[in-house]
């Protein structure tokens, strides 16, 4: 049996008409990637509080959760991880978040280099985390189960 890490994370899908708010992760183990604002739920933290905290940390913006969109559970194998760490079981909770204030800025000393509104139609042509496609699928399809089929990670799509 392979060693496995488990990560519980909360992600925000913030939309404005035909645009979605994405954050840019600078290259660490690979290319710069766009991803959704969000991240690890700390021990004892409510996922709703975590997603609002992460939006503020990564973008400088203040948000409110409007709706739970769904949950995604996937295992990312060691060979597919840029740092080749142990297998990662990522459990992502996705929320529709409305921005109500704050000023856009990069994350101070953090893992993101800035945020921007990207037209949804342009997302497919951008290097991005698979989290973006999952979040947009949940927001657009609003499945009653809160679950969408796995996203194939190829081309401009990365873990």
Please report, for the chain, the start and end positions of each structural domain, with discontinuous segments joined by +: 4-145
Mean pLDDT by 10 residues, the chain (159 residues): 81 97 80 91 97 96 98 81 75 97 86 91 92 96 91 70
Q: What is the CA radius of gyration of the chain?
A: 15
Class for the domain spanning 4-145: alpha beta
| Cα–Cα distance measured from residue 74 to residue 89, given in angstroms and rounded to the nearest whole number | 6
pLDDT, tens only, 122-131: 999 999 988 9
pLDDT, tens only, 73-104: 988 777 766 666 788 888 999 999 999 999 98
DSSP type of residue 107: P
């Amino acid at each position: 049996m392979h060693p496995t890490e488990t990560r519980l994370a909360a992600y925000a899908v913030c939309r404005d008409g035909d645009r979605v708010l994405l954050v840019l992760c600078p290259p660490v183990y690979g290319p710069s990637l766009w991803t959704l604002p969000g991240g690890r739920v700390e021990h004892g933290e409510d996922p709703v509080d975590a997603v609002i905290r992460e939006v503020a940390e990564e973008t400088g913006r203040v948000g409110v959760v409007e709706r739970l969109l769904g949950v995604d559970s996937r295992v990312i194998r060691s060979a597919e991880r840029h740092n080749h760490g142990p297998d990662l079981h990522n459990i992502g909770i996705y929320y529709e978040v409305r921005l109500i204030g704050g000023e856009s800025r990069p994350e101070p000393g953090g893992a993101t280099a800035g945020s921007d509104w990207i037209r949804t139609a342009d997302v497919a042509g951008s290097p991005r985390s698979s989290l973006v496609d999952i979040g947009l699928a949940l927001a657009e399809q609003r499945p009653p189960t809160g679950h969408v089929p796995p996203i194939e990670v190829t081309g401009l799509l990365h873990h």
